[in-house]
C-alpha cells in the first residue's frame, strides 16, 4: 500500500491524522474515502497503490473506539486531550493500536504499533502532533506494555527547548505512507521519517520470544556529523533531546540474561552513537558519492538497512530483504522517481537533505 497524503491547511488537532493512518493500513479497500477532510486535502491526496497492507485493528484508548475507529470526520476533537497545567498531566496520548504477525520462524510473534495524537506544552512549537511507537503488546483499551520511545514536553522545560518540535508529525506538506505486513513507513517529504520495520530473526529472537522489529526515526539533515540522538527509552519528558534513533522492545541480553523493556540502538554505552559509526547501514552518516557503471554511465550508490547489537550477543539483523527498502542519498530525485536496484524497480522518496529511501509499495 502506498498513499501520498497532502495537508494544505494545518488542523487544530491530529486525532483524525492518527485514525486515518490506522484506517489505511487496516483496510481491504484502500481509497481516499478513508481520509478526513478535517486534516487532509482529500482531492490532492492519492492512493498510489491500494494493495491492502495486512494490519489489523486491536483497539484504542478512546473508550468508544475499542472495537473499531470512529467513522471518518466523526471522532473526538482535540479538546479531549486536556491542556496541561503541570508536568503530571502532560503525558496525554490518544492512541489507536494495530497489529501484524511476523514472518517465520517467528510467525507466533506480533508487531504492535501505537498510532497516537498527543499534546506538548511547548509554547515555541506546535503543541498537537501525531506520533508512532512500537510496543511489546497492547490491550483493546490501548494499555501498552513496553513502548519503544515517545517523548512529551512539560511546562517546566520552557520555550527555549524548541527542539522537541522535531518529534512527531504535524503541519502542512506532503506525507508518504508505505506499508505491508512487514512494516509501516511514514515520511514527511523534505523533513523526516518514522517507521516500524520488521527485520530478520535470530536464534535469540526465537529462544527468548522477542519480536524481530525496530522503531526507526531520522530527523537530522546533516551527513557525516553526529546527529542529535534521542537518548531515552520508553515514554519520557524530553525537551532539548534529539529525535533520531532506533529502538527494540523486550530484548534479552544473551550474556547476562537481563531483559530490557526498551533498548536504544543509538544511545549505548559502547559508543554506538558517535557519528553513527557503530551502525553505518542504519544511519546516513557516510557521504555517498556518485559512481559509474562499467560503461561510464553515472550511477547513485544505495545501501541496505541493517544493524547489529554485538554487545548484547545479537548478530547482524537485516531490515532490507524483509522490508523492500534501501537507503539512498537525499536530493537525488523527486518523489515517485524509479530507482533500479539489481534489476528491480523501487520508488524514490526524499526524506531530507541527508536521506532518501528506495522502497516498493507492496
Q: Please state, in angstroms and as integers, the Cα–Cα distance from residue 56 to each residue in 24, 102, 274, following that order.
A: 11, 13, 38
What is the distance between the alpha carbons of residues 135 and 149, in angstroms, rounded to a whole number? 9
Closest CA to 75 of 126, 7, 23: 23
CB 314 within 8 A of CB 204: yes
Predicted confidence at residue 286, as pLDDT, reads: 63
CB 16 within 8 A of CB 130: no
Predicted confidence at residue 75, as pLDDT, reads: 78
What is the distance between the alpha carbons of residues 184 and 180, in angstroms, rounded to a whole number? 7
- Residue 347, classed as helix, strand or coil, is strand
- pLDDT tens-digit readout, 108-124: 899 999 999 887 766 55
Predicted confidence at residue 79, as pLDDT, reads: 46
Predicted confidence at residue 222, as pLDDT, reads: 77
What is the distance between the alpha carbons of residues 157 and 170, in angstroms, rounded to a whole number? 21
Closest CA to 204 of 268, 251, 249, 246: 251
CB 161 within 8 A of CB 121: no
Predicted confidence at residue 170, as pLDDT, reads: 92
Predicted confidence at residue 242, as pLDDT, reads: 74
Dihedral sign of CA atoms 361, 355, 131, 306 in order: positive
- Residue 226, classed as helix, strand or coil, is coil
Q: Which helix (H) or strand (E) holds 21?
A: helix 15-26
What is the distance between the alpha carbons of residues 83 and 348, in angstroms, rounded to a whole number? 39
Predicted confidence at residue 12, as pLDDT, reads: 83
The owner of cell 550474556 is 255
226-253 in b/e form (b: 16+ CB < 10 A) is ebbbbbbbbbbbbbebbbbbbbbbbbbb
Q: Which residues of the chain have pLDDT under 70?
A: 76-92, 121-126, 154-165, 224-228, 239-241, 267-278, 285-286
Amino acid at each position: 500500500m502506498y498513499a501520498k497524503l497532502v495537508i494544505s491547511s494545518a488542523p487544530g488537532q491530529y486525532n483524525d491524522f492518527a485514525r486515518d493512518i490506522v484506517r489505511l493500513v487496516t483496510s481491504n479497500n484502500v481509497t481516499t474515502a478513508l481520509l478526513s477532510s478535517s486534516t487532509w486535502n482529500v482531492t490532492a491526496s492519492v492512493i498510489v497503490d491500494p494493495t491492502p497492507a495486512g494490519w489489523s485493528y486491536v483497539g484504542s484508548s478512546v473508550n468508544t473506539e475499542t472495537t473499531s475507529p470512529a467513522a471518518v470526520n466523526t471522532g473526538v476533537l482535540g479538546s479531549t486531550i486536556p491542556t496541561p497545567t503541570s508536568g503530571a498531566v502532560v503525558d496525554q496520548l490518544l492512541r489507536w493500536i494495530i497489529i501484524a504477525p511476523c514472518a517465520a520462524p517467528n510467525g507466533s510473534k506480533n508487531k504492535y504499533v501505537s498510532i497516537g495524537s498527543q499534546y506538548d506544552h511547548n509554547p515555541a512549537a506546535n503543541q498537537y502532533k501525531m506520533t508512532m511507537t512500537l510496543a511489546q503488546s497492547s490491550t483493546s483499551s490501548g494499555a501498552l506494555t513496553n513502548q519503544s520511545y515517545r517523548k512529551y514536553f512539560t511546562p517546566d522545560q520552557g520555550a527555549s527547548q524548541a527542539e522537541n518540535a522535531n518529534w512527531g508529525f504535524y503541519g502542512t506538506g506532503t506525507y508518504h505512507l508505505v506499508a505491508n505486513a512487514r512494516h509501516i513507513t511514514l515520511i514527511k517529504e523534505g523533513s523526516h521519517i518514522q517507521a516500524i520495520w520488521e527485520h530478520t530473526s535470530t536464534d535469540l529472537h526465537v529462544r527468548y520470544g522477542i519480536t524481530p522489529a525496530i522503531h526507526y526515526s531520522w530527523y537530522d539533515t546533516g551527513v557525516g556529523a553526529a546527529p542529535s540522538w534521542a537518548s531515552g527509552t520508553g515514554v519520557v519528558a524530553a525537551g532539548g533531546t534529539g529525535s533520531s534513533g532506533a529502538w527494540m522492545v523486550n530484548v534479552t541480553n544473551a550474556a547476562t540474561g537481563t531483559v530490557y523493556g526498551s533498548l536504544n540502538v543509538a544511545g549505548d554505552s559502547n559508543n554506538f552513537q558517535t557519528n553513527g559509526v557503530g551502525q553505518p547501514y542504519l544511519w546516513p552518516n557516510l557521504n555517498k558519492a556518485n559512481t559509474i557503471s562499467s560503461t561510464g554511465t553515472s550511477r547513485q550508490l544505495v545501501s541496505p538497512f541493517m544493524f547489529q547489537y554485538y554487545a548484547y550477543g545479537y548478530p547482524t539483523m537485516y531490515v532490507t530483504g524483509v522490508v523492500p527498502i534501501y537507503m539512498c542519498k537525499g536530493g537525488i530525485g523527486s518523489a515517485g522517481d524509479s530507482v533500479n536496484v539489481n534489476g528491480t524497480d523501487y520508488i524514490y522518496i526524499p526524506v531530507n537533505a541527508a536521506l532518501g529511501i528506495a522502497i516498493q509499495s507492496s
